[in-house]
């Protein structure tokens, strides 16, 4: 659980791809599956051998092992959902305060928020793909709208793939630079 939450926090709060944690989490799921099977076998054995003395402890141990099944299912579902997102860190280097940002494409629209100069904000975006979840995103469909007191500017963003973490810098001419 700690591995999963560390991976998720890295994406959601820092726009960092921590692929090592994802691999480590998958490995830990495999290891804990083996541990759970061994635990269930010993619990059943202890239940029949020592049911007069340790019935309560055996049932509590079995309950804890079985409690992990819905938690693992939730983690795997959430991980699948997060992998469909692109986390974007918008960094304001435009020398303007109170920039309101909004992103949209053909099927998605989201008001990101307002940021001041030299500040950043992180938001996720679910790329619209050509043929479903595993295909390439639609080229040149993602737009960034920048609103200030004087202007409304619409900027083209490059295609973002599911599972990526990207940084988008806005310079003083409202030009966009995107990095990994």
Mind listing the pLDDT tens digit of every residue in the chain (180 residues)?
A: 687 788 777 877 777 777 777 788 888 878 888 887 887 788 788 778 877 777 787 778 778 878 878 888 888 888 888 888 888 888 888 888 888 899 888 888 889 889 898 999 988 888 877 776 666 676 667 888 888 877 788 888 877 888 888 888 888 877 777 776
pLDDT of the residue at 134:
65
**CA–CA gap between residue 82 and residue 19 (Å, rounded):** 13
pLDDT score, position 15: 73
Helical ranges in the chain per DSSP H: 2-14, 19-49, 55-83
Tokens of 44: 């059943």
The Cα 50–Cα 152 span in angstroms is 74
CA 171 vs. chain centroid, Å, equals: 27
Is the whole-model pTM more than 0.85? no
The tokens 């635990």 sit on which residue?
A: 39
User: Distance between CA atoms of 69 and 158, rounded to whole angstroms?
Assistant: 40
Query: Which residue from 152, 155, 127 is spatially nearest to 139, judged by alpha carbons?
Result: 127
* Site of tokens 């992103």: 103
Report pLDDT for 64. 80
10 contacts 21 by C-beta, under 8 angstroms:
yes
In the prediction, which pLDDT does 133 show? Answer: 61
């Amino acid at each position: 659980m700690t591995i999963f939450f560390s991976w998720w926090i890295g994406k959601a709060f820092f726009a960092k791809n921590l692929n090592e944690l994802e691999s480590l989490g998958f490995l830990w799921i495999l290891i804990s599956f083996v541990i759970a099977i061994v635990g269930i076998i010993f619990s059943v054995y202890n239940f029949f051998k020592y049911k007069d003395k340790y019935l309560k402890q055996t049932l509590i141990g079995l309950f804890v092992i079985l409690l992990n099944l819905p938690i693992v299912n939730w983690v795997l579902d959430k991980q699948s959902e997060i992998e469909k997102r692109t986390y974007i860190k918008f960094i304001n280097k435009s020398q303007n305060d109170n920039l309101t940002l909004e992103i949209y494409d053909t099927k998605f629209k989201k008001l990101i928020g307002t940021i001041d100069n030299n500040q950043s904000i992180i938001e996720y975006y679910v790329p619209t793909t050509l043929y479903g979840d595993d295909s390439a995103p639609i080229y040149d469909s993602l737009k960034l709208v920048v609103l200030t007191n004087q202007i409304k500017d619409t900027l083209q963003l490059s295609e973002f793939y599911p599972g990526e973490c990207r940084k988008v810098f806005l310079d003083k001419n409202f030009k966009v630079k995107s990095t990994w």
